[in-house]
Amino acid sequence: MAFISPDFVMRAANNVFADQLHIPLDRLIGRPAKEVVEDWTEHKEPFYRQVRETGRPFKSGAFPMGIKGQPERGVTYWDFTVSPVYAGDGSFIGYLLISNDVTEKKRAEEDLARLASIVQASDVAMAHMTLDGIVLDWNRGAERFYGYSAEEMKGKAISILVPPDRAGETARLLEQVGQGEPISHLETVRMRKDGSLVDVSLNISPVMDNTGQISSATWIAIDITERKRMEEKLRESEERFRNIYEESPIAIELYDSRGRLVDANKACLDLFGVPEVDYVRGFPLLEDPNMPDEAKEKLRRGETVRYESPFSFDEVRKHRLYRTAKSGTVHLDVVITPLDHGPRKSLGGYLVQVQDVSERRKAEEALRNARDEMEMRVEERTGELAQVNEELRREIAERKKAEQLIRRSEARFRKVFEEGPLGIAIVNRDFRFLDVNPMFSQITGYTKQELGKLTFVEITYPEDITNDVELAQRLFSGDLPYYQMEKRYVRKGGEIIWISLLASLVRDDDGNPLYSLSMVQDISERKQAEKDHERLMREVEDFASASRRRARELETVIRSLADALLVCDKEGRIVDLNEAALKQAGLTSREDVPSLAIDYLRLLNIRYPDGRPVPPNDLALTKALNGEVVTGLEEIARNPRTGSDFYLLVSSAPIRDREGNVTGIVEVMSDISRLKELDRLKDEFIAVAAHELKTPVTIMKGYAQALLRLPDAMTPSRRKMLEAINRGSDRIDRIVRDLLEISRLQLGQLELARERLDLADFVQEVVSRSMLTATKHTIKVARAEPAIVRADRNRIEQVLVNLIDNAMKYSPGGGEVDVAVLVEDREAVVSVKDYGVGIPRDKQARIFERFYSAHIGTPYDYGGPAAGLHISREIISRHGGRMWFESEEGKGSTFYFSLPLVEGNGGT
């Protein structure tokens, strides 16, 4: 709260105000507002001027404001009310500013709105629901995902998404959430509007309300159908590939890109008489002496090669290629498919399929021999031949079938690798990337070439390295068949992303780890959504707890307030009241409080200080409900319990919402009986003391006069002494009379003996009498027509004499005093004008105050209690008139008073 003078200087402020401005109180007081607030003159002052012009308070919403010298605070927002403040005589003396720094609240609201819009627009399906599963909010992501619009879902049960075979699942999940346990990454199945099923990963978190109770839940669903399908497909493909490889009756060899043998299946080892794959590992394909040179050429060009050739184990021995248990020569049918053409160059090598066709060769040879040598025995051998033939056909068919199977599996694997939504990387035991697919490049931001020079450790976020390396080591050591984790990559360029990793081991024929197949999914968006969600929840919670704290503080303030406080809604129903309010109405319990504020006030029997009951429309409560601010209304109330009257000082103000509509009122009633009683005691004391002074004054004055009547015994100097005593007595008498008069006014004992009076004639008469004692001044009277009033002659004379005495007193050089009587619309106005010293501007506001002298300490200080103007104004106001003045220092003053005219004045 601060008080600002009409020239916009901070004149007073409380500590809260200074604290909120971050300026010490002593540095605030006395400073012009424009030195405190940015853009004061352009943007703030107009509101104040408006308040002064209209006389109505101005209430801002959250209003942006910069505080000078505090650029670090940025724009702050303030909720403030400016009210005009008037002196007792109705003159404007400044502004009351009640302000509150609402920046935090405003920012929190803005952040909330922004976050809410992010959530709303998110592609990730999100919803907010009650603990019974009734949907409160349904975002765009959810609309797209499930096919239900927000309108369709709001107010509906979330359980319509649950497929029949999982009925009851949401209820169970929400019960768990209701106990404060969030659900994260629960993989389940949901049904879309069109009936299709979808694999989802659910995250459900509890939301607390203002009281700290879990009242609702937020829900995020991530579509994992694709991931599931991919995983499934890959698994199938890989399994099939492996099955075919392991179980195939066809010998299969795998060579790396340099043509070194890395693996061979069981059939292959049998065929070549090798007990273990280790015996042949590293065997160079292109140096196989059994391979025709023509085939080698074709392989170098990257073409698929097929040839049939005899294979000599003796050659193997001769060249010491590898150890073999076999000897002699077999006939082999060999198909070599290079795997290193196209974009998969570094995947490694060649797929070699070998079949021993010696039997077939034998059969063919036998046939030939038979034809050549034993034509005659053809018939004989026909059956045998047919059988061989049959075998041959079967074998060929089988071989073709197996080959086809392998090709199909491989194609599928390749398709997944090339086009799948998953990033796939093949990582060797040194953690190097042997190969990656395009999606992996897209996820990491590195090209395949760049990745070829890197290990996965180099692109892993430092904090996640230890964990991943440990798991990878366990994988390669055969400890784990696969592992799954969520980790971060540092993309090329430094961006950090979250990924979900599924790494599995690929083994060789003997079960030795070869490399790891890593499947990677970018889950940054999901992570971000989770983080946003967490932050949103935290901010909502912070905001709620700040509100709760403020509410508690306010409650404490209200409870401990000595003054009675009443808060009502806009219909005038009591919303809250404090202990003091209960007590003053004689109530012991809140249950006894009437629901309507007006009934509560009826209990108090509210009256004006003069005893008249206050009509309902004039109650501060009613006025505040109509939007008026009422301050300092004095009333009398009765405590129904004790039956005793007490004085109340009532203030009431409307509570408005952001749009300025009245939503309720707050009324403060202060019991000022003690103050009133003190005031009365003081006045009574003055009356008694003044009366007691009169007796000694009478004695002094009496003897002085008695002595002065003895002319013979008197020297001139003794006469002067006695005259001085006489004058002194008169002065004491005047002071005593003023004091008595004032106390009578305060005690309400001033009685008027009113009679019909022509004010014009009466003024003339009084002035004539004053002229007799005026030595240096000329008093002129200007009057036009009769001015009939009802007034107490003696009292009006007292006022007039006081004004004329003042006029002469404060124009000590002598000169004119102009007195005029004017008849206006409904009142007669008397003016007394002098051309004297005038009243300094800064003292003008107080001259009607009791005992206030504008000239105290100046050469025009004539002593005395300076109560004349106060008494005069009281007398006039009790006649129903007004008193005012105009004055300019050095030029003189004009005092006016008005009295209401008797009806029909002027006609007579």
Partner 1 sequence: MAGHDRKSVLIVDDDEDILSLLASILEDEGYEVEVAKNGREGLESLQHEKPDLVLLDMKMPVMNGWEFAKEFHARYDSAVPIVVITAAEDAKKRAEETAANGWIGKPFDLDVLLDTVDRYAS
The residue ranges that bind partner 1 (CB under 8 A) are 691, 694-695, 697-703, 705-706, 709, 729-730, 733, 737, 740-741, 744
Q: Which is nearer to partner 1, 603 or 690 (CB)?
A: 690
* CB 827, CB 899: distance < 8 Å: yes
Q: Nearest distance from residue 694's CB to partner 1, in Å?
A: 4
- Our CA dihedral for 148, 150, 156, 159, rounded to 10 degrees, sits at 50
Q: Nearest distance from residue 779's CB to partner 1, in Å?
A: 25
Q: Nearest distance from residue 799's CB to partner 1, in Å?
A: 16
Residue 283 phi, psi dihedral angles, 5° rounding: -60, 130
Q: Which is nearer to partner 1, 144 or 769 (CB)?
A: 769
The type of residue at 876 is I
Q: Which is nearer to partner 1, 325 or 710 (CB)?
A: 710
Distance (Å, whole) CA 789 – CA 752: 13
* Residue appearing with tokens 């002229």: 771
Distance (Å, whole) CA 197 – CA 161: 9
Q: Nearest distance from residue 704's CB to partner 1, in Å?
A: 9
Distance (Å, whole) CA 665 – CA 235: 71
Q: Nearest distance from residue 705's CB to partner 1, in Å?
A: 4
Could you tell me the maximum CA-CA distance found in the chain, to the nearest angstrom?
Answer: 206
Q: Which is nearer to partner 1, 279 or 703 (CB)?
A: 703
Q: Can you give 3-45 as a three-state secondary structure string?
A: EECCCCEEEEECHHHHHHHCCCHHHHCCCEHHHCECCHHHHHH
Q: Which is nearer to partner 1, 465 or 752 (CB)?
A: 752
Cβ neighbors of 282 (< 8 A, separation 6 or more) are 260, 261
Q: Nearest distance from residue 737's CB to partner 1, in Å?
A: 7
Residue 617 in 3-state DSSP? helix
Q: Nearest distance from residue 740's CB to partner 1, in Å?
A: 6
- Our CA dihedral for 537, 541, 547, 551, rounded to 10 degrees, sits at 140
Q: Which is nearer to partner 1, 698 or 858 (CB)?
A: 698
Q: Which is nearer to partner 1, 303 or 730 (CB)?
A: 730
Distance (Å, whole) CA 25 – CA 2: 11
Q: Which is nearer to partner 1, 434 or 739 (CB)?
A: 739
* CB 472, CB 447: distance < 8 Å: no
Q: Nearest distance from residue 690's CB to partner 1, in Å?
A: 9
Residue among 44, 50, 57 at smallest CA distance from 84: 57
Q: Nearest distance from residue 728's CB to partner 1, in Å?
A: 11
- Our CA dihedral for 521, 527, 529, 533, rounded to 10 degrees, sits at 150
Token digits of residue 479: 């400890």
Residue 744 in 3-state DSSP? helix
Distance (Å, whole) CA 105 – CA 112: 10
Distance (Å, whole) CA 652 – CA 669: 9
Q: Which is nearer to partner 1, 87 or 688 (CB)?
A: 688
Q: Nearest distance from residue 564's CB to partner 1, in Å?
A: 40
Q: Nearest distance from residue 702's CB to partner 1, in Å?
A: 4
Q: Which is nearer to partner 1, 24 or 702 (CB)?
A: 702
The type of residue at 623 is K
Q: Which is nearer to partner 1, 63 or 703 (CB)?
A: 703
Cβ neighbors of 456 (< 8 A, separation 6 or more) are 425, 427, 431, 433, 468, 472, 518
Q: Nearest distance from residue 721's CB to partner 1, in Å?
A: 17
Q: Which is nearer to partner 1, 644 or 695 (CB)?
A: 695
Token digits of residue 17: 């105000």
Q: Nearest distance from residue 765's CB to partner 1, in Å?
A: 20
DSSP string for residues in 372-413: HH-GGGHHHHHHHHHHHHHHHHHHHHHHHHHHHHHHHHHHHH
Distance (Å, whole) CA 65 – CA 76: 5
Q: Which is nearer to partner 1, 144 or 691 (CB)?
A: 691
Distance (Å, whole) CA 407 – CA 402: 9
Distance (Å, whole) CA 210 – CA 501: 40
Q: Nearest distance from residue 711's CB to partner 1, in Å?
A: 13
Q: Which is nearer to partner 1, 213 or 698 (CB)?
A: 698
